[in-house]
Structure 1
């Protein structure tokens, strides 16, 4: 294939001559809007970028079910309990679907789904910053559905035409279901916003706590901040269309009017829409804190990982049974 050649702090890609034509044909297919399939030839950095993206997405769907799972027994009504149970079930299904997509990409590297779970538990595979956070009140269950899933929809619809076919097709289904999840969250938010003084107070308090995580959701704006050119690689290969800041601006444009319409505020006295620059001005979150959170040093990181580890250990017999070859008589 080809190798990375280090040049100071940047990485350039050096191709062996025999793969130059393959690479040019690959790029021509992408530029023409064709979809790359699991068995097709692909550059190493394309494969690696996809594995990182899809495995993180899949694991985040699974870990993301845990904060809401905590509210299944505490939901205020039977209707709300059934709604959040269905949402948790959907999120776990999304995770399983995405891990299968990632597994196909990993096979040439000698890795499988079990490798991903081990990477998660030893800290090598990260999950989304928002799912390291606590869900302290019922308003948090609504906030996750309304704004966290709303942010996810913006991020995922940005990749609905991704150049990698298996991921693009998985996203078609996932995005359709995420719309219902956002509506589920919005229903909780509306009920609280129209409720009594206590209900409105826990709604505002929840938004105040979640605001930094929501801004962090899309990641830092620039490669200078992240020390990585991951955004550029994914845009170059048409896995995604927009960069992190463009996605964050789309989120603010969609949801800030709705937040204000409910009489809520955000903990940022500087936030405003600049008509001249045609963008939202806001106070940057603490990106050093973001780095610590995704390194499993968030408020609920250890508890959520331990819960996942216990489930993995307790269900080892299922994996062993499925791996056992049938005995013929």
Structure 2
């Protein structure tokens, strides 16, 4: 005789869980949660955490090359903040991994073997000081829109971490904007540096938010995160918010956006734009971008070189 009691119990738990979600309750790490919810959170938060760490590398390259001591200190502080964000988020992810007997070390191994992805923009090369400013202004600006979208997330620990991260990201965006404004007010060569950076980074900025629908990737990840109120808006809604906020600002500097089709459709009330190459996006996030392997090598070397610190801390905890 088949025992259907476990299935009935699981269904009741799921119904109770969804009622909590709908009521606006915050789920905590020790609460019961469906596997689909836990796995969606692990994938999202671990990717976010790793992206914060890998995202420090493009700007780290410009610490010794910044044009003044003031700029060096500013970008160094930003790099330090990003690494701190990564550590905070990986701790949040680690709590979700405990039922599987995994920890942050396993996430690093997933990164090195290609199972854990990081944001497409952090695979790109930074060729000029204009790139460094643009990352702070437009990449961190995109991050603020994405992360602010999840401040009310149903998972409490992630929401609390995001409150601190979003507050600091605002300073990062202002730091990048200050660099861009200084270049825009400078020589023709400096203005050209901004235009060149935007020309190269524009497709990556569009890709930052991900494809418009799950049909593009054959994945239902976007639907799952909305279903469980991990986030309220879709990728395309976030991209439209980004356009509305930043297109006027970019144009106010006399910079040309490298998309002749870009315009606002008054009737539909949406921005119309040229789609980036989503096949290229898949290649980039599969660690086949311009700087993917170099940055992964740097992260792997650092992780192995500092293994003794983790071992010493583990020994201290055992004592």
Taking structure 2 as the reference length, the TM-score comes to: 0.97
Match of 1:279 in 2: 270
| 1:68-93: CA deviation from partner (whole Å, max 9, x where unpaired) | 00000111011111100110000000
Match of 1:5 in 2: none
What is the 5 A alignment of 1:308-319? 308-319=299-310
What's the secondary structure of 1:311's corresponding residue? helix
Structure 2 distance, partners of 1:136, 1:162, is: 37
| 1:234-284: CA deviation from partner (whole Å, max 9, x where unpaired) | 011000010000000000010000011110011111000010010000000
What's the secondary structure of 2:264's corresponding residue? strand
What is the 5 A alignment of 1:265-304? 265-304=256-295
* Cα displacement (A) at 1:326: 6.8
For structure 1, list consecutive stretches of 5 or more residues without a partner in the other structure.
Answer: 1-14
Matched pairs, number? 314
Match of 1:30 in 2: 21
Is structure 2 residue 167 aligned with structure 1 residue 181? no
* Cα displacement (A) at 1:39: 0.2
Match of 1:12 in 2: none
Match of 1:324 in 2: 315
| 1:38-62: CA deviation from partner (whole Å, max 9, x where unpaired) | 0000000000000000000000000
Is structure 2 residue 141 aligned with structure 1 residue 150? yes
What is the 5 A alignment of 1:164-243? 164-243=155-234
Structure 1 distance, partners of 2:305, 2:318, is: 25
* Cα displacement (A) at 1:233: 0.6
Match of 1:41 in 2: 32
* Cα displacement (A) at 1:325: 5.0
Structure 2 distance, partners of 1:41, 1:258, is: 45
For structure 2, list consecutive stretches of 5 or more residues without a partner in the other structure.
Answer: 1-5
Change over 3 Å in CA distance of 1:21–1:186 after alignment to 2: same
Taking structure 1 as the reference length, the TM-score comes to: 0.94
* Cα displacement (A) at 1:17: 1.5
| 1:92-136: CA deviation from partner (whole Å, max 9, x where unpaired) | 000000000000000001111000000000100000000000000
Change over 3 Å in CA distance of 1:82–1:325 after alignment to 2: closer
Structure 1 distance, partners of 2:111, 2:124, is: 17
Which of structure 1's runs of 4+ aligned residues deviate more than 2 A?
Answer: 325-328
Structure 2 distance, partners of 1:30, 1:18, is: 18
Name which of 83, 89, 98 aligns with 1:98.
89
Name which of 106, 114, 126 aligns with 1:123.
114
The structure carrying a bigger helix percent of its residues is 2
Match of 2:80 in 1: 89
RMSD: 1.0
